[in-house]
Amino acid sequence: MTGVPVLVVVFCDDCGVEARGDYLGPSRAARIAGARAWLAANRGWLIAPGLDLCPTCRPDAPAAANDVRTASDLPDTSANERS
Ligand SMILES: [Zn+2]
């Protein structure tokens, strides 16, 4: 028995955005540690001792959110004439 998932809320220390999730753990500290580790690994949070920053506030924010693709090799079919 590891208990039931407990809601853990991690706040960004800069903008204050909340990251909520249910986490398992033997203690509150363990659940918070698990939540912070999960956010760092899966949501791009910067987690340091005494500091939690969301993906948009971390100083070295990656540009992964800008998933822009260019389709420069698409065939040009605009000149397709029909009569
Ligand atoms: Zn933030």
C-alpha of residue 26 to centroid of ligand 1, in Å: 28
Contacts by 68-76 with C-beta closer than 8 Å and gap 24+? none
35 pLDDT above the threshold of 60: yes
The size of the chain, in residues, is: 83
C-alpha of residue 46 to centroid of ligand 1, in Å: 10
E runs forming strands in the chain: 6-11, 18-23, 46-48, 51-53
* Closest C-alpha among 10, 45, 3 to residue 24: 3
C-alpha of residue 42 to centroid of ligand 1, in Å: 16
* pLDDT value of position 83: 62
Check if the beta carbon of residue 53 is closer than 8 Å to that of residue 19: no
Query: In the predicted model, what is the mean pLDDT of residues 24-43?
Result: 95
* pLDDT value of position 3: 78
C-alpha of residue 50 to centroid of ligand 1, in Å: 15
Instruction: Quickly state the pLDDT bin for 80 (edges 50, 70, 90).
Output: low
Token pair for residue 45? 């949070």
Q: Is the pTM of this model over 0.85?
A: no
